[in-house]
Amino acid sequence: MDPNRARKQNQAPAAALRALLMTYFSDAELQTLAHDLGVDYEALPGQAKSTKVIQLIQTAARQGKIVDLVELGRAERPHLDWNVVGVAAATGPRQFLFVPDEGGPVLAASPDRALRIGIVLGALMMFLLACGFGGGLLAGQIVRVTLNPVQPDPDSLERVNIKIGDQQFTPQGAGVSFAGALQMLNSLPAGMPFAIQVDNVQATTLADELIKARPDAPVSDPHLRFLASSQISANVRVGRLGNRRVVLAYTARAEGGRIVITPVAAWVNLIEIPNITFGWFPLPQSAQDEATRWVQAELDAAAGGFWFSDVSVEEDRLTIAGARR
Protein backbone atom coordinates (compact mmCIF):
# COMPACT_ATOMS: atom_id res chain seq x y z
CA MET A 1 0.00 0.00 0.00
CA ASP A 2 1.11 3.56 -0.72
CA PRO A 3 2.71 4.81 2.56
CA ASN A 4 0.85 8.13 2.23
CA ARG A 5 -2.43 6.25 1.92
CA ALA A 6 -1.61 4.10 4.93
CA ARG A 7 -0.77 7.17 6.97
CA LYS A 8 -4.08 8.82 6.02
CA GLN A 9 -6.03 5.72 7.06
CA ASN A 10 -4.34 5.72 10.45
CA GLN A 11 -5.26 9.35 11.04
CA ALA A 12 -8.47 10.56 12.57
CA PRO A 13 -10.90 11.42 9.75
CA ALA A 14 -10.76 15.16 10.47
CA ALA A 15 -6.96 15.11 10.30
CA ALA A 16 -7.05 12.99 7.15
CA LEU A 17 -9.40 15.43 5.42
CA ARG A 18 -7.21 18.35 6.45
CA ALA A 19 -4.15 16.56 5.04
CA LEU A 20 -5.90 15.84 1.72
CA LEU A 21 -6.98 19.43 1.26
CA MET A 22 -3.64 20.86 2.39
CA THR A 23 -1.53 18.56 0.21
CA TYR A 24 -3.48 18.30 -3.01
CA PHE A 25 -5.36 21.61 -3.36
CA SER A 26 -3.98 25.08 -4.00
CA ASP A 27 -5.38 28.20 -2.39
CA ALA A 28 -7.28 29.02 -5.56
CA GLU A 29 -8.76 25.53 -5.71
CA LEU A 30 -9.76 25.69 -2.05
CA GLN A 31 -11.47 28.99 -2.74
CA THR A 32 -13.43 27.31 -5.54
CA LEU A 33 -14.41 24.41 -3.26
CA ALA A 34 -15.62 26.87 -0.63
CA HIS A 35 -17.61 28.82 -3.26
CA ASP A 36 -19.29 25.65 -4.52
CA LEU A 37 -20.09 24.81 -0.91
CA GLY A 38 -21.67 28.22 -0.31
CA VAL A 39 -18.91 29.39 2.03
CA ASP A 40 -17.07 32.71 1.76
CA TYR A 41 -13.44 31.54 1.80
CA GLU A 42 -12.01 35.03 2.26
CA ALA A 43 -14.21 35.61 5.31
CA LEU A 44 -12.88 32.52 7.10
CA PRO A 45 -10.66 33.47 10.07
CA GLY A 46 -6.89 33.38 9.60
CA GLN A 47 -4.47 34.12 6.78
CA ALA A 48 -2.39 30.95 6.51
CA LYS A 49 -3.56 28.16 4.23
CA SER A 50 -3.54 25.65 7.10
CA THR A 51 -5.83 27.86 9.17
CA LYS A 52 -8.19 28.41 6.24
CA VAL A 53 -8.43 24.65 5.64
CA ILE A 54 -9.26 23.97 9.30
CA GLN A 55 -11.87 26.73 9.33
CA LEU A 56 -13.38 25.48 6.06
CA ILE A 57 -13.78 21.95 7.46
CA GLN A 58 -15.25 23.20 10.73
CA THR A 59 -17.64 25.56 8.94
CA ALA A 60 -18.81 22.74 6.66
CA ALA A 61 -19.35 20.50 9.71
CA ARG A 62 -21.33 23.16 11.58
CA GLN A 63 -23.54 23.83 8.56
CA GLY A 64 -24.19 20.15 7.84
CA LYS A 65 -22.17 20.27 4.61
CA ILE A 66 -19.21 18.04 5.46
CA VAL A 67 -20.41 15.27 3.12
CA ASP A 68 -20.73 17.86 0.33
CA LEU A 69 -17.18 19.05 0.97
CA VAL A 70 -15.82 15.51 0.74
CA GLU A 71 -17.74 14.84 -2.48
CA LEU A 72 -16.55 18.10 -4.05
CA GLY A 73 -12.98 17.12 -3.19
CA ARG A 74 -13.47 13.62 -4.55
CA ALA A 75 -14.82 15.03 -7.82
CA GLU A 76 -11.72 17.20 -8.24
CA ARG A 77 -9.21 14.52 -7.18
CA PRO A 78 -10.87 11.14 -7.90
CA HIS A 79 -7.51 9.33 -7.86
CA LEU A 80 -7.06 10.03 -4.13
CA ASP A 81 -8.38 7.78 -1.38
CA TRP A 82 -11.45 9.54 0.07
CA ASN A 83 -13.03 6.38 1.55
CA VAL A 84 -12.09 6.95 5.19
CA VAL A 85 -13.23 10.58 5.31
CA GLY A 86 -16.28 9.81 3.18
CA VAL A 87 -17.58 7.12 5.53
CA ALA A 88 -16.81 9.27 8.60
CA ALA A 89 -18.57 12.30 7.08
CA ALA A 90 -21.70 10.25 6.42
CA THR A 91 -21.81 8.43 9.75
CA GLY A 92 -20.22 10.83 12.25
CA PRO A 93 -20.06 14.40 10.90
CA ARG A 94 -19.64 15.90 14.39
CA GLN A 95 -16.06 14.57 14.61
CA PHE A 96 -15.04 17.08 11.92
CA LEU A 97 -15.75 19.93 14.35
CA PHE A 98 -12.37 19.23 16.02
CA VAL A 99 -9.62 19.42 13.40
CA PRO A 100 -6.00 18.92 14.58
CA ASP A 101 -3.30 20.82 12.74
CA GLU A 102 0.42 20.01 12.46
CA GLY A 103 1.08 21.32 15.95
CA GLY A 104 -1.90 19.93 17.84
CA PRO A 105 -5.68 20.13 18.11
CA VAL A 106 -7.66 23.18 17.16
CA LEU A 107 -11.03 23.64 18.82
CA ALA A 108 -14.15 24.48 16.95
CA ALA A 109 -16.09 26.80 19.16
CA SER A 110 -19.06 24.46 19.18
CA PRO A 111 -20.54 21.28 17.76
CA ASP A 112 -22.91 23.45 15.75
CA ARG A 113 -23.89 27.06 15.37
CA ALA A 114 -26.77 26.73 17.80
CA LEU A 115 -24.63 25.11 20.46
CA ARG A 116 -22.09 27.92 20.07
CA ILE A 117 -24.75 30.33 21.30
CA GLY A 118 -24.94 28.26 24.45
CA ILE A 119 -21.20 28.46 25.03
CA VAL A 120 -20.80 32.05 23.96
CA LEU A 121 -20.07 32.73 27.63
CA GLY A 122 -16.95 30.63 27.25
CA ALA A 123 -15.86 32.74 24.32
CA LEU A 124 -16.50 35.86 26.36
CA MET A 125 -14.25 34.52 29.08
CA MET A 126 -11.35 34.15 26.65
CA PHE A 127 -11.23 37.94 26.92
CA LEU A 128 -8.80 37.23 29.74
CA LEU A 129 -6.00 36.32 27.32
CA ALA A 130 -4.36 39.69 27.50
CA CYS A 131 -6.94 42.16 28.67
CA GLY A 132 -6.67 44.65 31.46
CA PHE A 133 -8.44 47.81 32.56
CA GLY A 134 -7.11 49.63 35.56
CA GLY A 135 -9.92 52.05 36.36
CA GLY A 136 -13.47 51.70 37.63
CA LEU A 137 -14.19 49.42 40.57
CA LEU A 138 -11.82 48.82 43.46
CA ALA A 139 -10.23 45.37 43.49
CA GLY A 140 -11.91 44.49 46.77
CA GLN A 141 -15.38 45.13 45.35
CA ILE A 142 -15.08 43.02 42.23
CA VAL A 143 -12.78 40.31 43.59
CA ARG A 144 -14.76 39.68 46.77
CA VAL A 145 -17.72 38.16 44.95
CA THR A 146 -15.46 35.53 43.37
CA LEU A 147 -13.63 34.35 46.50
CA ASN A 148 -16.16 31.53 46.95
CA PRO A 149 -15.90 30.02 43.47
CA VAL A 150 -18.86 28.64 41.53
CA GLN A 151 -18.41 24.93 40.82
CA PRO A 152 -19.43 23.39 37.47
CA ASP A 153 -22.27 20.88 37.40
CA PRO A 154 -23.01 19.13 34.06
CA ASP A 155 -26.49 18.12 35.29
CA SER A 156 -27.38 21.81 35.63
CA LEU A 157 -27.44 22.19 31.83
CA GLU A 158 -30.56 20.04 31.69
CA ARG A 159 -32.34 22.84 33.60
CA VAL A 160 -31.37 25.75 31.32
CA ASN A 161 -34.42 27.85 30.49
CA ILE A 162 -35.14 28.06 26.75
CA LYS A 163 -38.00 29.94 25.12
CA ILE A 164 -39.02 29.54 21.47
CA GLY A 165 -41.89 31.76 20.46
CA ASP A 166 -44.39 31.53 23.30
CA GLN A 167 -43.20 28.11 24.45
CA GLN A 168 -40.85 27.98 27.43
CA PHE A 169 -39.17 24.76 28.53
CA THR A 170 -36.02 23.12 29.91
CA PRO A 171 -34.21 20.24 28.19
CA GLN A 172 -35.08 18.01 31.16
CA GLY A 173 -38.75 18.93 30.97
CA ALA A 174 -38.84 18.40 27.21
CA GLY A 175 -37.16 15.01 27.50
CA VAL A 176 -34.13 15.96 25.39
CA SER A 177 -30.46 16.60 26.06
CA PHE A 178 -29.07 20.10 26.42
CA ALA A 179 -27.30 19.79 23.06
CA GLY A 180 -30.49 18.46 21.51
CA ALA A 181 -32.52 21.38 22.84
CA LEU A 182 -30.04 23.88 21.44
CA GLN A 183 -30.04 22.04 18.13
CA MET A 184 -33.69 22.98 17.84
CA LEU A 185 -32.61 26.61 17.55
CA ASN A 186 -30.62 25.81 14.46
CA SER A 187 -33.79 24.54 12.76
CA LEU A 188 -35.95 27.56 13.54
CA PRO A 189 -37.53 29.41 10.61
CA ALA A 190 -36.20 32.89 9.89
CA GLY A 191 -37.62 35.49 12.24
CA MET A 192 -38.66 33.03 14.95
CA PRO A 193 -37.82 34.58 18.35
CA PHE A 194 -36.00 32.69 21.07
CA ALA A 195 -34.35 33.32 24.43
CA ILE A 196 -31.87 31.38 26.55
CA GLN A 197 -31.40 31.98 30.28
CA VAL A 198 -28.47 30.58 32.30
CA ASP A 199 -27.38 30.98 35.90
CA ASN A 200 -23.90 31.12 37.45
CA VAL A 201 -23.49 27.34 37.68
CA GLN A 202 -24.72 26.70 34.13
CA ALA A 203 -22.47 29.41 32.68
CA THR A 204 -19.48 28.10 34.64
CA THR A 205 -20.20 24.57 33.42
CA LEU A 206 -20.33 25.71 29.79
CA ALA A 207 -17.06 27.61 30.13
CA ASP A 208 -15.40 24.69 31.92
CA GLU A 209 -16.42 22.23 29.17
CA LEU A 210 -15.16 24.56 26.46
CA ILE A 211 -11.75 24.95 28.10
CA LYS A 212 -11.34 21.24 28.86
CA ALA A 213 -12.06 20.46 25.20
CA ARG A 214 -9.12 22.67 24.21
CA PRO A 215 -5.80 21.36 25.55
CA ASP A 216 -3.97 24.51 24.45
CA ALA A 217 -6.40 26.88 26.16
CA PRO A 218 -4.50 29.71 27.92
CA VAL A 219 -6.91 29.70 30.89
CA SER A 220 -8.27 27.05 33.24
CA ASP A 221 -10.59 26.50 36.22
CA PRO A 222 -13.23 29.10 35.27
CA HIS A 223 -15.87 30.48 37.64
CA LEU A 224 -18.48 32.90 36.26
CA ARG A 225 -20.90 35.10 38.16
CA PHE A 226 -23.65 37.44 37.00
CA LEU A 227 -23.81 40.46 39.28
CA ALA A 228 -26.59 42.78 40.41
CA SER A 229 -24.58 45.62 38.85
CA SER A 230 -25.37 44.15 35.38
CA GLN A 231 -21.75 43.05 35.06
CA ILE A 232 -20.29 39.62 34.38
CA SER A 233 -17.36 38.49 36.52
CA ALA A 234 -15.02 35.69 35.40
CA ASN A 235 -12.41 34.21 37.75
CA VAL A 236 -9.86 31.96 36.03
CA ARG A 237 -6.24 30.85 36.17
CA VAL A 238 -4.06 32.20 33.36
CA GLY A 239 -1.14 30.02 32.29
CA ARG A 240 1.10 32.74 30.91
CA LEU A 241 0.86 34.63 34.22
CA GLY A 242 2.27 31.69 36.16
CA ASN A 243 -1.17 30.11 36.51
CA ARG A 244 -2.22 32.94 38.79
CA ARG A 245 -5.82 33.86 39.43
CA VAL A 246 -7.29 36.63 37.28
CA VAL A 247 -10.68 38.28 37.78
CA LEU A 248 -12.28 40.19 34.93
CA ALA A 249 -15.46 42.24 35.03
CA TYR A 250 -17.19 43.22 31.81
CA THR A 251 -20.57 44.19 30.39
CA ALA A 252 -22.41 42.69 27.44
CA ARG A 253 -25.16 44.22 25.34
CA ALA A 254 -27.06 43.66 22.09
CA GLU A 255 -26.25 46.25 19.44
CA GLY A 256 -27.19 46.01 15.78
CA GLY A 257 -28.03 42.33 16.17
CA ARG A 258 -24.62 41.53 17.67
CA ILE A 259 -23.47 40.76 21.20
CA VAL A 260 -21.03 43.53 22.12
CA ILE A 261 -18.71 43.35 25.14
CA THR A 262 -16.97 46.12 27.06
CA PRO A 263 -14.27 45.59 29.72
CA VAL A 264 -14.80 47.21 33.11
CA ALA A 265 -11.92 45.97 35.30
CA ALA A 266 -9.29 43.23 35.39
CA TRP A 267 -7.18 42.12 38.36
CA VAL A 268 -4.45 39.54 38.96
CA ASN A 269 -3.59 37.89 42.29
CA LEU A 270 0.19 38.25 42.58
CA ILE A 271 0.52 37.09 46.17
CA GLU A 272 -1.77 34.02 46.06
CA ILE A 273 -3.27 34.31 49.52
CA PRO A 274 -6.59 32.44 49.35
CA ASN A 275 -9.97 33.90 50.28
CA ILE A 276 -8.91 37.50 50.84
CA THR A 277 -8.78 40.56 48.59
CA PHE A 278 -5.24 41.50 49.58
CA GLY A 279 -2.63 40.95 46.89
CA TRP A 280 -4.78 41.73 43.85
CA PHE A 281 -3.42 44.27 41.36
CA PRO A 282 -4.75 45.75 38.10
CA LEU A 283 -3.68 44.03 34.91
CA PRO A 284 -1.85 46.16 32.31
CA GLN A 285 -3.96 47.64 29.55
CA SER A 286 -1.43 47.17 26.73
CA ALA A 287 -3.20 44.28 24.99
CA GLN A 288 -6.78 45.34 25.75
CA ASP A 289 -7.68 46.53 22.25
CA GLU A 290 -6.23 43.42 20.62
CA ALA A 291 -8.09 41.13 23.01
CA THR A 292 -11.33 43.04 22.49
CA ARG A 293 -11.11 42.66 18.73
CA TRP A 294 -10.32 38.94 19.05
CA VAL A 295 -13.22 38.14 21.37
CA GLN A 296 -15.67 40.26 19.38
CA ALA A 297 -14.68 38.40 16.23
CA GLU A 298 -15.28 35.08 18.02
CA LEU A 299 -18.73 36.19 19.12
CA ASP A 300 -19.66 37.42 15.66
CA ALA A 301 -18.52 34.14 14.10
CA ALA A 302 -20.37 32.08 16.71
CA ALA A 303 -23.69 33.81 16.21
CA GLY A 304 -23.69 34.72 12.54
CA GLY A 305 -27.01 32.99 11.84
CA PHE A 306 -28.91 34.84 14.56
CA TRP A 307 -30.05 38.40 15.31
CA PHE A 308 -29.72 39.34 18.99
CA SER A 309 -32.19 41.84 20.37
CA ASP A 310 -31.35 41.79 24.07
CA VAL A 311 -28.62 40.75 26.50
CA SER A 312 -29.80 41.11 30.09
CA VAL A 313 -27.54 40.57 33.12
CA GLU A 314 -29.15 40.26 36.55
CA GLU A 315 -27.90 38.78 39.80
CA ASP A 316 -27.19 35.07 39.15
CA ARG A 317 -28.82 35.23 35.73
CA LEU A 318 -28.01 36.01 32.10
CA THR A 319 -30.70 36.14 29.40
CA ILE A 320 -29.88 36.28 25.69
CA ALA A 321 -32.81 36.94 23.33
CA GLY A 322 -32.97 37.14 19.57
CA ALA A 323 -34.33 35.57 16.41
CA ARG A 324 -33.16 33.35 13.58
CA ARG A 325 -31.93 35.42 10.67
Reported as a single tens digit per residue, the pLDDT across 43-65 is: 888 788 888 998 899 899 888 89
Label residue 289 by pLDDT band (50, 70, 90). low
Label residue 38 by pLDDT band (50, 70, 90). very high
Residue 302 reports pLDDT greater than 60: yes
306 bridge partner residues: 324
CA dist., res. 303 & res. 217, Å (int): 21
Label residue 138 by pLDDT band (50, 70, 90). very low
CA dist., res. 25 & res. 19, Å (int): 10
Long-range contacts of 36-42 (CB under 8 A, 24+ apart): 36/72, 37/65, 37/68, 37/69, 37/72, 38/63, 38/65, 39/63, 39/65
Residue 269 reports pLDDT greater than 70: yes
Cβ pair 263, 131 in contact under 8 A: yes
Residue type present at position 273 = I
pLDDT tens string 158-209: 999 999 988 898 989 888 888 887 777 777 888 899 999 999 999 899 888 8
* Average pLDDT value over all residues in the chain: 77
107 bridge partner residues: 98
pLDDT tens string 87-108: 888 888 878 877 665 544 333 3
Cβ pair 159, 201 in contact under 8 A: no
Label residue 273 by pLDDT band (50, 70, 90). low
Percent of the chain at pLDDT > 70 equals 73
